[in-house]
A and B are shown apart, each in its own frame.
Chain A
Amino acid sequence: MRFLLRLLLRIQQLIGNHNQKAIRLTGVELGIGIGWRSEIDLTVERLEGVDFVEVIAENLHPPRLPESLTILRGRGLPVLPHGVSLGIGDAAPPSARRLAHLAACAEALQAPLVSEHLAFVRAGGMEAGHLLPVPRTREALDVVAENVRRAQDSLPVPLALENVAAIFGWPGDELTDAQFLTELVERTGVRLLIDVANLYTNQVNLGLPAVEALDGLPLESLAYVHVAGGYERDGIWHDTHTTSAPPQVLELLGELCARASPPGVLLEWDDDYPSDAVLADELGRIRKVVFHGP
């Protein structure tokens, strides 16, 4: 089955066809989810209305999964590995070891897909320690497309790439974020994880209109959506994942939902964890936007 799915994707890449029906053959209806973190494992297990979770792949040891994830899997919840260190946007190909780890996570969790960031994280043996934006040039697109293909060949399930938040842009960009992602999808068939909080961050910090970006993105390739909160200081939006999503981010989610039906929407909360009740309210706010509009 996996071979057939891969074959389908490859054919799709070759003929440059990314129509919605073909993409949906690999699609999974996920629902409303939350980022699983060990600090809130029991909370996530007990929250009502959690349809799927996402776990940071680098925090997993596939032969020995956390009990909580095993329990969630036992309940039939999809658990998606989410990588933060693959460096798909690096000049060098992604490391075989990191890809093997991501693949092992997907296998261990029986995940329907894995996700990573379209980010540049290391070069020449130096780690950036951040998810840096990729230069949006044609040359970079060639490199990233090749990196994505290598990753897809190593992974047992489809790969989704997330747009990142940035506080700077590289000089000499030739393409917009949407154009870059659209071409990447056309060339590779990679799926998209659209982080509306990151779109908002880029709007505030870089002046890139978020709704315009939504209009340009190939949303038929949407795998799922991230929602998160942050705060503004001195005119800079910090996408910290430590607060409730601001209304502007939820409005963007509404705009996205007006253009496409996202298979899943996931709340990210990474630190300063509030009470279970606050997290439940936050999921409720997201659910309301997804099903009833902003």
Chain B
Amino acid sequence: MSALLTIVAVGLVVLTFTTRSLLGRARRRRPPADLNGLSPYELAFLAGGARRAANTVLTVLARAGAVRVARGGWITPVYGAAPSPVPMEQAVLDLLAHSGGYRASDLRRALEAHPAMAGVVGSLHARRLLTSSPSGNVGVMSVVVAVTALFVAGVAVLRPSAGPLLFGGLALLAGLISLATLARPLHNEPTADGIGLLVHERRRHRSRASAHSSGVAFPVALYGLGASGDPELIGELSTSDSGSDSSGSCGSGSSCSSGSSCSSSSSSCGSSSGSSCGSSS
């Protein structure tokens, strides 16, 4: 009887690991994905999430002269910039138009919560290039764990013996670990097709880049800000997360312009926080 229980326990170990393996594979492998016509922002999200997508759109707009990046990572609208038909780009233009300016880190945060970014994510989900939480998988593994737990409990109460308890315990432990892994929301991570697409695009970009230089959007989408080839832009877009102040100059809201006199008694930047300047004359 003990040998039979040991065999059953070993079987449970095998069942647990097999289930874990199958569910894990199924989790990443979905029905064939739609790989056509991916925008640079979708590719950027796939490669580096919302931050990469935001950095890509900021780089594209800055290089196109549609937004201006100043030292301290301060981003302002460019007067006269044409509207963009691309939702992600228009989202940045709208945010800047309403605020007058953002630090890069704040603009990225605002953009991550913007419907345009949700549109990018939605498109990637629709193309089955991003994962979403697989509740069905968790259910299957829960059944396996429950069966194993009943077996271990039964053996422990009715017929305690080392072999079945050892293998049953092992199966239960493996099942619980697998359950915890599967229950972790694998949200918005590339599916196997998504990863394959990235590998393909990077290979394609490398071969194209060797033949002729391409625009800035795809390099930044695939490899990050460093691929923009603009060290000053990289520096300003990536350093403002620390929230540091801008280089000791007055912020845009408190500076004096040459067309008016600064009317407050304070005359240096350090003490001019409350000063406003008269309109240009």
A64 within 8 A of B: yes
Interface magnitude class on chain A: 35 or more
A277 within 8 A of B: yes
Q: Please name all residues of chain B whose beta carbon is closer than 8 Å to the beta carbon of A98 when the two chains form the complex.
A: 267
Q: How far is the CB of B73 from chain A (nearest CB, A)?
A: 10
Q: Please name all residues of chain B whose beta carbon is closer than 8 Å to the beta carbon of A101 when the two chains form the complex.
A: 267-268
A60 within 8 A of B: yes
- Binary contact readout A7-44 vs B (1 if CB under 8 angstroms, 0 otherwise): 00000000000000000000000000001011111110
User: Within the complex, which residue of A39, A41, A128 is in contact with B263, where a contact is CB–CB below 8 Å?
Assistant: A128
A130 within 8 A of B: yes
Q: Please name all residues of chain A whose beta carbon is closer than 8 Å to the beta carbon of B270 when the two chains form the complex.
A: 61
Q: How far is the CB of A57 from chain B (nearest CB, A)?
A: 8
Q: Is the CB of A41 within 8 A of B71?
A: yes
Q: Please name all residues of chain B whose beta carbon is closer than 8 Å to the beta carbon of A165 when the two chains form the complex.
A: 259, 281
Q: Please name all residues of chain A whose beta carbon is closer than 8 Å to the beta carbon of B257 when the two chains form the complex.
A: 37, 56, 84, 241, 270-271
B261 within 8 A of A: yes
Top-9 shortest CB links A-B: A129-B278, A275-B65, A127-B263, A64-B248, A272-B79, A66-B247, A66-B249, A129-B263, A121-B261
B274 within 8 A of A: no
Contacts of A221-245 to chain B: CB distance below 8 A: 226, 238-242
Q: Please name all residues of chain A whose beta carbon is closer than 8 Å to the beta carbon of B80 when the two chains form the complex.
A: 272, 274-275, 278
Q: Please name all residues of chain A whose beta carbon is closer than 8 Å to the beta carbon of B277 when the two chains form the complex.
A: 84, 129
Interface magnitude class on chain B: 35 or more
Q: What is the CA–CA distance of A267 and B278 in the complex, to the nearest angstrom?
A: 21
Q: Is the CB of B260 within 8 A of A38?
A: no
Contacts of B35-90 to chain A: CB distance below 8 A: 65-66, 68-71, 74, 76, 78-81
Q: Is the CB of A42 within 8 A of B236?
A: yes
Q: Is the CB of B259 within 8 A of A56?
A: no
Q: Please name all residues of chain A whose beta carbon is closer than 8 Å to the beta carbon of B255 when the two chains form the complex.
A: 37-38, 56, 59
User: Within the complex, which residue of A41, A61, A87, A274 is in contact with B269, where a contact is CB–CB below 8 Å?
Assistant: A61
Q: What is the CA–CA distance of A132 and B71 in the complex, to the nearest angstrom?
A: 33
Q: Please name all residues of chain B whose beta carbon is closer than 8 Å to the beta carbon of A277 when the two chains form the complex.
A: 65
B264 within 8 A of A: yes
Q: What is the CA–CA distance of A41 and B280 in the complex, to the nearest angstrom?
A: 21
Q: How far is the CB of B62 from chain A (nearest CB, A)?
A: 10
Q: Please name all residues of chain A whose beta carbon is closer than 8 Å to the beta carbon of B174 when the two chains form the complex.
A: none
Q: Is the CB of A42 within 8 A of B69?
A: yes
Q: Is the CB of A239 within 8 A of B259?
A: yes
B262 within 8 A of A: yes
